[in-house]
Amino acid sequence: MIPSLMLNLGLASENAPAEARCAIDSLLRRMASASVRGVRNQTASALASTIHAAESLRALEQDMPSLLSLTKVHLQRKLTSTTIESLAGILGNIPSTTVRRCIAEHLVQRLDSNLCKIDDYVRIAITAGVEGNSEVSNLLIEAALSKPDFPPGALIAMRDARGEPLEAAAVPDVCLIDAVIGYGRASSTICGLMLSRLDDDSADSYDRILNASTEITLPLPYQRAAAYLIHHLQGRCKAGDVLVQTLLQRIRVDILNMTELSLLARFSPLAASHPVLIPLIAKRCLQVAASPEVLSYTPYEGDVHSAKLLCRVLSLLCKVDRGDSTALDFGKLQNLICQVAVRHATHLVPSDFVSLCALVVQSGYHKIPQVRLSLGDILGPCVLVKMRALKSAGAKERLAGLCRTMGFEAIDLSEKFSNNLHEVAASTEGESLALVNASASPSAAS
């Protein structure tokens, strides 16, 4: 409180009459004395404000050396128990050279003692560079350069943020990619360097992947990171948008894993800008969903991720304009995605389950005669569980209406499965189907 009042009073006294200024200066010195007496109980932010006031206010010019030395000692002690978020906030809000240098030196000490995450360290250095806080930025970068195991991608991100020119020949592809994906630095400079690499067809030193028609797609590092880059670069800068379009034109969908497919499916302009990719994504999605053992998930996690991915892909398929000669094959592919998505529906949260039912109706999958006869039995247990979990009456009514459109009534299901709802809620997909068959058999009815 006192440091803030000191600063406000000091600023207010600049245009005050001489007599009033003398009175304010006297008050400021008394407040500074009180602040020093209570220095042990002040927060790091208050101590930083006191130092800033001592450096800024003419009234404290005589007391500045003693005030600074004492407050700085206590600030250094207080920083050891200050969170990284608070340190970043002080750096951004207190324009004091002494405070900034003190915090930067403390961050280096934390890094040396493994008490600071590299991600946090890099984030503060990037922010300092972008805001023109060169003293902090330079000190943090110099300390990082002295560490042989410091991530090179992080160094690229930090150096780029302070405006340092990057030599294309001296920066490996993996470092540029890591700067974007690992540390969120997607500047025009970094994206421009990536574009120059992708446009350089004469660069035979790159390990390039060839597709079935022997056309060059992407250098290996970019192919591996393409989905992640597309996800991180959207809307960041003009060079980034151009890079995204280049990646989308040359990406190989048939080797993507579930996470990469999911990132690609989340790219909102995909249906309008690159509809040709959507059938490829759907085919690869079916392959991945059918082989969860190749992924690094447990079987249950694999089913959950597959269910979410299938919904995203089905949504993309429903958005694509099918007014071309491939409409028949496209329809078959959409029906296959619907079939697999319905089988994974039990793993979806209630809101996503309602969305899936809406997509099934939108796609027209429920109109297939054989499908219409079986949808009630396949989705029945899920409908009851999700209906109970939905909090909104409107969402429940919407789900009931979708069930009616798909050929079965949610009310009829409640009578059919009411005796084993608790079992259905805790069961896997296979067990749910077993319960459906059991409740429909004559022996169960008796």
pLDDT at residue 22, as a whole number: 73
Half-sphere exposure in the Cβ direction for 172 (13 Å, CA) = 10
**Which carries the bigger pLDDT value, residue 233 or residue 290?**
233
Judged by average pLDDT, the poorest of 133-137, 167-171, 224-228 is 167-171
Residues contacting residue 179 through CB under 8 Å, at least 6 positions apart: 153, 154, 156, 157, 160, 185, 190
> Is the Cβ–Cβ distance between 139 and 108 less than 8 Å?
yes
For residue 16, the surrounding DSSP H or E stretch is none
> Is the Cβ–Cβ distance between 357 and 386 less than 8 Å?
no
pLDDT in tens, 60-112: 676 677 777 778 888 889 999 999 999 999 999 888 999 999 999 999 999 99
The percentage of residues in the chain with a pLDDT greater than 90, rounded to a whole number, is 46
Q: Is 332 exposed, middle or buried (0-12, 13-18, 19+ CB in 10 A)?
A: exposed
For residue 426, the surrounding DSSP H or E stretch is helix 421-426
Q: Does the structure show a pLDDT above 80 at 154?
A: yes
pLDDT at residue 329, as a whole number: 77
> Predicted confidence band at 285 (pLDDT cuts at 50, 70, 90)?
very high
Residues contacting residue 33 through CB under 8 Å, at least 6 positions apart: none
The percentage of residues in the chain with a pLDDT greater than 70, rounded to a whole number, is 74
Closest CA to 371 of 395, 349, 341, 348: 341
Relative orientation angle of helices 258-265 and 277-290, to the nearest 10 degrees = 150
Q: How far is CA 143 from CA 74, 105, 108, 271, in A?
A: 24, 9, 7, 46
CA 328 to chain centre: 37
Closest CA to 365 of 313, 406, 408: 406
Structure tokens at 336: 């296959």
> Is the Cβ–Cβ distance between 95 and 74 less than 8 Å?
no
Structure tokens at 363: 């796609």
Judged by average pLDDT, the poorest of 20-34, 159-173, 182-196 is 20-34
- Per-range mean pLDDT, top range of 40-54, 237-251, 287-301: 237-251
- Amino acid at the residue 37: R
CA 161 to chain centre: 20
Q: Does the structure show a pLDDT above 70 at 426?
A: no
As a whole number, the mean pLDDT across the chain is 81
- Amino acid at the residue 11: L
Find where tokens 């990719």 sit.
277
Structure tokens at 43: 């927060």
pTM to 2 decimal places: 0.77
pLDDT at residue 412, as a whole number: 53
pLDDT at residue 314, as a whole number: 94
Domain residue ranges in the chain = 344-446
pLDDT in tens, 170-214: 899 999 999 999 999 999 999 999 999 887 643 433 344 434 344
Structure tokens at 194: 């990536």
> Is the Cβ–Cβ distance between 290 and 304 less than 8 Å?
no
pLDDT at residue 107, as a whole number: 96
Q: Does the structure show a pLDDT above 70 at 7?
A: no
Half-sphere exposure in the Cβ direction for 242 (13 Å, CA) = 15
Q: Is 124 exposed, middle or buried (0-12, 13-18, 19+ CB in 10 A)?
A: buried
